[in-house]
Structure 1
């Protein structure tokens, strides 16, 4: 899942980025309302974490502009305020959820996952490719009855490929959706992690699930074996 964090408190933003990435999210963080609106408008995100008190445009203004432009990405708003009026304002403008600082990180993650599930009912509860299954709610991967242990990055890569099964995805698309839109490292990191995933989901089972499409990218076969 890809998350946009719009938060001007540097320490909180850094903590959120580290924590969400450890949970397997792809995170893009910006510190102003103007940058937040631009990112939300130009990019594709599964959910937005939006602070209310921001420089440039405040969170209310960012949310209002998003909704007026037809951007219905789920938004969870953060604020240091705890008045009922603030919550009513947020929901009236189109917010989907609301947390008051300080908050529990565990609660934040649970609410983000719930927002994504509600906003995208077309996504299957369990992703399948032949005998390979991935359960996003439990973050579990199985080949038949055998459970497969993946690191957060490996899991994010496999989830992205399974959500796009039978479709060729480029290295750039993988980097943008599994790493970050502003990733500046070498793109051969994708090859490295595809190798890691193959060694866990295929080699022990004698299968070949992820196909390399030379000069283009990768494709995961819908039947789980190509």
Structure 2
């Protein structure tokens, strides 16, 4: 059964963009154009995840989020807030109101779909996809296989975990320390430069057929999975 996502957004063009990308990615989509409609919609059909805009007619996204968290049926439904407000204080307010993640506008639809899957994997693993994809790279999480352009890639266990982390957060830059915590674990002592070694191995595997390098090095910051040269 397809995971059910409710989009709560009053901008028609953005709704259609989100609907198209979500449906293409295998989700069932419902739409509400204001906060009151959203609350009525979830009473009729509780979604598996809600994309909730901050600035809505009739009722703010923050208030919608608070009301959803007070209702038994929706208290544990994952909520990702979409907003043009990017200040840290606003982000904290959204998370304090009960949101599970926070995506500032403008955003990449590909990254948003990946964030949705990451939240579902964390909160409702039974709904999560069994494969990840980015550009021409496909990762089968069940069979533990990776292909690029339809051809199999041979990755070591650490490179597989590293690529999975990047594919769950495309476009986001991670420092060596963040990658060590997420991929190796916080209780494992490994030199930060070890990350560079495994990034190099991952690049060799991904680029074996003269493919474009999708691992971007950000000077003094870290690494990202990003098809845009940087």
TM-score if structure 2 supplies the norm length?
0.54
Q: What is the root-mean-square deviation in Å for CA atoms of aligned residues?
A: 2.7
- Quote how far apart the aligned CAs of 1:114 are: 0.8
Q: Residue 117 of structure 2: which of 113, 129, 137 is its match?
A: 113
Do the aligned residues in 1 keep the contact of 2:39 with 2:64 (CA within 8 Å)? yes
Q: What residue in structure 1 maps to residue 5 of structure 2?
A: 3
Q: What's the offset of the Cα at 1:124?
A: 8.2
The match for 1:69 is 71
Compute the TM-score of the two structures, normalised by the length of structure 1: 0.55
Distance in 2, matches of 1:101 and 1:125, equals 24
State how far apart, in whole Å, the 2-side matches of 1:20 and 1:69 are. 26
1:27 correspondence with 2:48:
no
Deviation at 1:41, TM superposition (A): 3.2
Structure with bigger RCO (C-alpha 8 Å, 6+ apart):
1
Could you report, residue by residue, the CA deviation over 1:180-202 in whole angstroms, capped at 9, with x for unpaired residues?
A: xxxxxxxxxxxxxxxxxxxxxxx
The answer for the alignment partner of 1:57 in structure 2 is 59
Instruction: Give the whole-Å Cα distance in 2 for the aligned partners of 1:84 and 1:115.
Output: 20
Distance 1:107 1:114 in 2: 10
- 1:80-134 Cα distance to aligned partner (Å, 9 max, x none): 111111101111111000011000111100000011111114x2878xxxxxxxx
In the comparison of the two structures, how many residue pairs are matched? 136
Counterpart of 2:182 in structure 1 is: none
| Structure 1 pair 125–103 and aligned structure 2 pair: CA distance change class (3 A) | closer
Moved over 4 A (4+): 136-140
CA distance in 2, matches of 1:81, 1:11: 19
Q: Give the direction of change, closer, same or farther, for the CA distance of 1:39–1:136 in structure 2 (3 Å limit).
A: farther
Written as runs of structure 1 = structure 2, the 5 A alignment for 1:74-223 is 74-121=78-125, 123=126, 135-137=130-132
Give the unaligned 5+ runs of structure 1: 127-134, 143-226
Contact 1:5 1:13 in 2 (8 A): yes
CA contact (8 A) 1:3 1:27 kept: yes
Residue in 1 that maps onto 2:19? 17
Cα shift readout 1:141-200 (whole Å, capped 9, x = no counterpart): x9xxxxxxxxxxxxxxxxxxxxxxxxxxxxxxxxxxxxxxxxxxxxxxxxxxxxxxxxxx
Aligned match of 2:164: none
Equivalent-residue separation in structure 1 for 2:127 and 2:17 (angstroms): 30
